[in-house]
Structures are given as C-alpha cells and as structure tokens.
Chain A
C-alpha cells in the first residue's frame, strides 16, 4: 500500500541524510521525498511517499521516530488528508498545437507561466495521479521536459502535525 508519511525534524545539517540513509540501509522504498523548513525555522517538515506492507510501514514509522533529530511522525494515509504535488512541464507549442496546449492546460486547471516562440511551460498542481493523467493526455512528442516536486501532504480539519 502507498503511504504518505509526514514528519517534523530539527532543522539541522545532515537531517535529510539520516532519513535517506535509514531508508536505503533497511531496504525501504522511497517514491518521493520533499523537505523544507516550516514557519518555525528550527523545524523542517518532510513528506515521504513510500510503499510497503502494514508490517513494513509500522517499522518505518518506528525507525523514523527512533532517529534522535525527529520530533514527530504521522502517517497521513491513516486518516483523511490532502495531497498535492507541483509539476512544471515544458511542451512544444507551435502552429496549431499552440491553441491545443492552451486548452489542455485549462482543462487540467494548469497555468502557462512561460511563453516562448516554440514552447509553453505549464504549471500544474494536484495529486500525483492527476499529474500523471495530464502527461498521459499529452502527445508524447509534445513533452520536452518535466519536473515534479513529489507529494506534500496535510491532514484535514483538526488533524494537525505540530510541536
């Protein structure tokens, strides 16, 4: 099962490598990992998307909690949550494709954020599967470059991850 794990850790050098090292050393899988400081500059928030059986996920959470720098860990997928990922896609946009690309971006509620003679750069936000769907919808030859942030997540309503 796919799980989204959120964690808060001390914003100190080496934090990311401790988490990444834990996953590689114990053979856990990382689909994506994002990290940035929070509104409290002493804390970093990390979102890790991983896959594994319930036993493996339980171990991952325990092992993350065991890292001395980690303050809190939450499996977002255990409850109601929101997941978002940002993607930037550079597409071929010339001739009649230009209008078609604009339409596609609109359908997926993307925004064109850079315009050049032959290309558009589209910004798209959503769940991972929505971004996948957008790429599917485009003609293979039209995609010049993509970059994705990996998922960020947050609990709904009163589910708050805070120190």
Chain B
C-alpha cells in the first residue's frame, strides 16, 4: 500500500519501537502531526520550547538506554533545538531529531521559516540527512537510528521538506542497514588486550578511570568485576558516575577540576592507568603537560579511535566496544596464573587511605544557614540513594556529583560536555517518562532552572511528579566562585536579582511549592516531598542556601591535577 511521507515517518518510528516523541508542531511538520493524531503506537509529548524537546529525548535515552526521539518544525524549530542537539553530541547520546523543512521547490529561496538545518546542525551531529525524495525516507530513518545508536553514539538529524511528507510511495521498512562507509570496530585487538592484562598484573600503583563510555556501553558490571578481581582503586568521571558503585570502599570519588583529593592524587601518581570510555578531558586531567610529568603507562579502551591519544599519549590503545573488550580482558585475567602484586598494592592502598583521610569534601555542619552539600546528603538519605538525579550546570551540579553516591549506572543525568544550563527540568521529564514509578529529583539552582522554567507546564500536562531541589543562593554560583578566586571578588553580573517567588510560581503551574530557610527544616521537607502523599505531585523545593559557599577541591584551569585548592587552605 502506498503511504504519504508523513505516514511513513510515523510507521518508521513505530517499527523502531519508539515509545515517546518529544516535540512541538509548526507549519512544516503539520502533515506529520496529522499522521501522529491518527495513530496510537507511540505517545507525543508536547514541550513548551524545542530545546526542551531534545533535552527530554536525550534524558529519556540516558536513563533507558534506548534512542530518544524529538520532532521539531523548520526554521526556529530547528535553531531552538540546536542547544539540545549540541548537548547530546558532546555527551554522545543517541537521539534522532526529525525536523520539518520548507517544501523542496522553496529551499534556498529564503522562504518563511526556512533555515539550512543540515548546515546549522552539521558541527553538532554525528550525521544528518536532507530527504529530497519520499522513496528514500524509510531507508534514511532506518539509517538514522542505526547511526545514532551504534559505535560512539550521537544525535542524528533527519530534515524532511513538507512536500516530501505529502508525496506517496510504497512503504517498506528495511530489516537491516549496511553501509560501506560506516562500520564501527567492536572487537578489541586480541594482542593489545593481552598486553593490557599483562600490564595490569605488573602494576604497583594501578588506577581504573572510567567515563561516560562505560555507562553508554552498559559495561559497569564488567568494570566492577575487574576492580574487585584485582582489588584496584576506581574513579568515575562526571559522565561516568554510577559506572562503579560509589558507596564501595574501592571507589575514590570523581576525578578532575572538582574531583576528590584522593582520586586526583591517585590519577597523578599511578604507574598503570586503565582508562575505559573516558577521554582525558581538560576538566578531568587539567594541564596535560603537568599530567605527563609523572611516569605512568596508560591503557585506553574506547569505541572511538579519535578519542585515543587526542590529549594524552597512551601506551596500549584498544579500539572496541568497552563491554566486549572488558569481557575479553576479564577472561584473560581470570585464566592467568599470575596475580596482582599484593605487597605493592597494600602500600598503594595505605597511601590512598592517607589521601582519603584529608576528608576533602568536608564542610561546616554547624552553619545556621543551609549548606548546599547538606541538602544533597539529605536528598540521598530521603531517596535511600536510589533516585534518578538530574542536574543543571554549576555549583549545584558539582555538589550533586560529589555528595549523591550513585551505585548504579544511568541514575545520574547531567550535561557534562557542553555544560548546558537549563537541562535539569527537561531531563527530569525524560527520565520520569522512561521510569514512571521511579523517584526523580532535579538538583538545580535559581539561575539554571529559569532557563527552561516553562517546562513546569509540560510536567503538569503529563503529570510528571518530578521533585525539584532548588539550591537557591541568589548567584550564578560557579561564576561567582571564579570571580571570587580569579577576578578580585568583582561579581560582575552574577547576582540574580528580581527572582520570582518560586513557591507561588510552582503553585501557579498547579504544583506544590515549598520554601526552606533553616538547616533544621531540610530533612522534613525532603521527607514530605518524597512521601506517598505527594507521590503524584511535582514538588518545587526552594532551599535558601549559603551565598558564599564554594565547591572544593578545585583544580584551577591550566593547573595540574595534584595542585588542588582545598577548603581548609582558604
């Protein structure tokens, strides 16, 4: 039977098993929306801004492991989506974005709501397509899902002119995709894996450093097994939190700019570093020249060859799917007669415990003003450490990462690479839809939350009982912190004046609002928000926190990992 392009789009999404499409209608996608109206295979979630559509689709993917889908119209629909697309790109999240385009005869004529979507998004997608012929539509969408989800994942945009959605053709959805130009390597080189196993067994000061690739590659079980088998210390990057259980003793916390003292010192002083699905990002290793000063051998497992030896030279590169490679590595290690060097490991652990005893995350617990760290600790208790936590970007993000101990993968959802303020609330929506019965907390600040605050309306429409933990210090906290440290405390434009009454704001959207001003009330407020009585409600908790609190430890930009500023030094 012949179908219209719009019907083909809807059928393709159904074939892919899509559950939710996050979108916003407009002229160029009206045919597609009409086809959506007539189907019941998937649900459309109407956001209040296209940026949020992509963020929600992105978070749906992060929390579920499936491909997220967003649908936007041409022109401003696409440009609004760009922030969301770039966010997903930087964190390698599989999202398919379908955008409307002006009809093919109008392309290039500066038509109403025309923008070169393929051109605008090219630098921030894994790949993109402009479909000019309805006969290519189904195969292109199949390719888009395939490319988004395989290899190093990422967003893929499919731009469909309006006339193509009206044209008809026979609908055939391909079973598989074969592309001569795209065949990601999944199996690690056997010789290299063997070399890696040997190197690990010889290590005297080993360190396992894992990133977002372990979460995306569903390899946290393998990482945990490996660390346990060898009794090696482990650190997870901001993107990799939950890759190894944070409440376990072998976990040293997060490394990097706001990493723990023990994680950074162990990274710096290790003699064998096993990097898995991590990319030696500037926020993780600081100054690469300083990092290279210490002699160490590096094993790097990553699905993306271009991530290897990009910022730091490695000794044993292994390109492949992290899960497959770790399975191979585990097999070799288990079969090996050699065992790790126990005396050396004991000495190493003694050193690590000494670093750990600095207690680098300590803060003033006697304070009469609410300390943001305290709120996150109490959130962890109130949710029994089992919530999905989204965050925005800034100090609150770092505190959430430092103080909420993630024991499972896909529980911590944040914008690590692009650092997009405003993701928190739309992320929480995507997560809540992926896990309707789960506790979802959005740890945010008064500045970030206002960047996508309109989504409170979407939450009402779809009854998403997200719990918003607003750490309100009346400042763009991280900007303020940098200004305090590096700009002589000249707080240029970082004070958030004229804030709304968040309680009334939440109420005006039909939600529950709370303001918490005293440390003594923090625990009760969180307990109430997560109580069965409010299970179905969105609760906006506005915590009035200490304006001068800073995130420690801190590695200043351009400095080395072992050159941290610690709280007590100030």
Contacts and interface: CB of A to CB of B under 8 A. Distances in A.
Interface in A32-65: 55, 58-59, 62-63, 65
A121 B306 CA distance: 46
Task: Pick the most buried of A10, A14, A68, A69: most chain B CB atoms within 10 A of its CB.
Answer: A68
A110 to B, nearest CB: 39
Contacts of B532: none
Interface residues of A, number: 20
A25 B121 CA distance: 13
B122 A70 contact: no
A148 to B, nearest CB: 28
Given A14-B118, A59-B310, A69 B305 contact: no
Given A14-B118, A68-B127, A58 B309 contact: yes
A136 to B, nearest CB: 40
B181 A71 contact: yes
Contacts of A59: 306, 310
Interface in B105-154: 118-119, 122-123, 126-127, 130, 147
B122 A68 contact: no
B129 to A, nearest CB: 9
A62 B317 CA distance: 14
Contacts of B309: 55, 58
A71 B179 CA distance: 9
B123 A69 contact: no
Interface string B72-96: 0000000000000000000000000
B181 A69 contact: yes
Contact of A68 (B118, B126, B305, B310): B126
Contact of B181 (A10, A14, A21): A10
Chain B interface size band reads 10 to 19
B542 interface: no
B337 interface: no
Given A55-B309, A66-B306, A21 B122 contact: yes
B293 interface: no
A69 B306 CA distance: 16
B310 A70 contact: no
Interface in A76-100: none
A1 interface: no
A156 interface: no
Contacts of B306: 59, 62-63, 65-66
A63 B304 CA distance: 10
Contacts of A13: 130
B119 A17 contact: yes
B180 interface: yes
Contacts of A66: 304-306
21 contacts: A13-B130, A14-B122, A14-B130, A21-B122, A21-B123, A25-B123, A55-B309, A58-B309, A59-B306, A62-B305, A62-B306, A65-B305, A66-B304, A66-B306, A68-B126, A68-B127, A68-B147, A68-B179, A68-B182, A71-B180, A163-B180
Given A14-B118, A65-B306, A66-B304, 5 more contacts: A18-B122, A59-B306, A68-B126, A68-B179, A68-B181
Interface of B: 118-119, 122-123, 126-127, 130, 147, 179-182, 304-306, 309-310
